[in-house]
Amino acid sequence: MLKLLKYALYDILKSRFAIIYTVFLALVAISIYQVSDDLSKVSLSLMNIMIMVVPLISAVFATTHFYNNLEFVELMLAQPVKRSQVFLSQLLAVILMLSLSILIGFGLPMLLWGADSSLITLLAVGMILSAVFTGFAFLASVMTRDKAKAIGISLALWIYFSLVYDGFVLYIIYSFADYPLEKATLGLVMLNPVDLGRILMLMQLDISALMGYTGAFFKQFFSSGIGMLVILMVLSIWLVVPIGLSGRIFKKKDF
């Protein structure tokens, strides 16, 4: 397992994508720090980049990596190696690389210019979203042998969770504005990992005061121990379910 993981990580580093991605994140963070000295504004700006760019890059890169290493995967499957080990080595290599890129690309500027609790939360949210969309990408990849179709599915999931779903939620809130929707809105947030990460960041930035009664309800819920436990459980489900489904399909798939 460890040997397979080391080879997968080496293969990713050899492609130089990890270096380019890390430098890109670092340049973005440095440019934002240069514009503003207010850590709250820096956190908000980095959050917008994190919410939109990180899931997109994670989905596209994970899908591309799976198909680029398909010949190696087929070779390993012909050896006396468990399919689960082959699958997990490829998956963990992508997640580790994306997470390290976020830690280094955003973390180093934070060490140089300063950081608060919201920025630490930002790093955690970025790594979680990277892992979630990597799981989505691997699920799309094992469902079809067509690379273009798999990338299309990954992009469709990114568009849905990052753009379309918010419009759907806003339509429901607008249509039923006369009814108490705090708990219903909270439930809808749980159905989208991107919105969940965004709300967690907004609560850290104390912007909930600008969101009215719903924002106060969210802050009260997320600030409680039970609320944080629920959030961790929901994020774990978003992480485990796609990976579990893709792993099961991978075990039965005829390459």
Phi, psi for 38 (deg, rounded to 5): -80, 115
pLDDT at residue 100 is higher than 50:
yes
Mean residue pLDDT across the chain: 83
pLDDT at residue 213 is higher than 60:
no
Looking at residue 155, its amino acid is L
Residue 79: predicted pLDDT? 79
More confident residue, 85 or 170: 85
Looking at residue 94, its amino acid is V
Residue that the structure tokens 């691997």 belong to: 138
Instruction: Indicate the pLDDT class of residue 214, thresholds 50, 70 and 90.
Output: low
Instruction: Identify the three-state secondary structure at position 79.
Output: coil
| pTM for the full predicted model | 0.89
Helices 2-14 & 83-113, crossing angle to 10 degrees? 50
Distance between CA atoms of residues 122 and 204, nearest Å: 9
Instruction: Indicate the pLDDT class of residue 10, thresholds 50, 70 and 90.
Output: confident
pLDDT at residue 210 is higher than 50:
no
Using an 8 Å Cβ cutoff, are 147 and 67 in contact?
yes
Distance between CA atoms of residues 58 and 194, nearest Å: 13
Residue 16 is classified by DSSP as: T
More confident residue, 2 or 67: 67
State CA 180 to chain mean position distance. 31
Give the pLDDT confidence of 127-184 residue by residue, as tens digits. 999 999 999 999 999 988 888 899 999 999 999 998 888 888 878 877 776 776 667 7
Distance between CA atoms of residues 179 and 20, nearest Å: 49
Distance between CA atoms of residues 224 and 244, nearest Å: 30
For the chain, the structural domain boundaries read: 2-252
Residue that the structure tokens 């908000």 belong to: 44
Distance between CA atoms of residues 7 and 76, nearest Å: 12
Using an 8 Å Cβ cutoff, are 86 and 76 in contact?
yes
Query: Which range scores top for mean pLDDT: 7-16, 59-68, 203-212?
Result: 59-68
Q: What b/e string do you get for 31-44 counting C-beta neighbours within 10 Å, with b at 16 or more?
A: ebbeeeeebeebbb
Distance between CA atoms of residues 201 and 191, nearest Å: 17
Smallest CA-to-CA distance from 136 within 224, 32, 241 is with 241
Report the percentage of the chain scoring pLDDT > 90. 29
Q: CA 102, 204, 222 angle in degrees (round to 5)?
A: 110
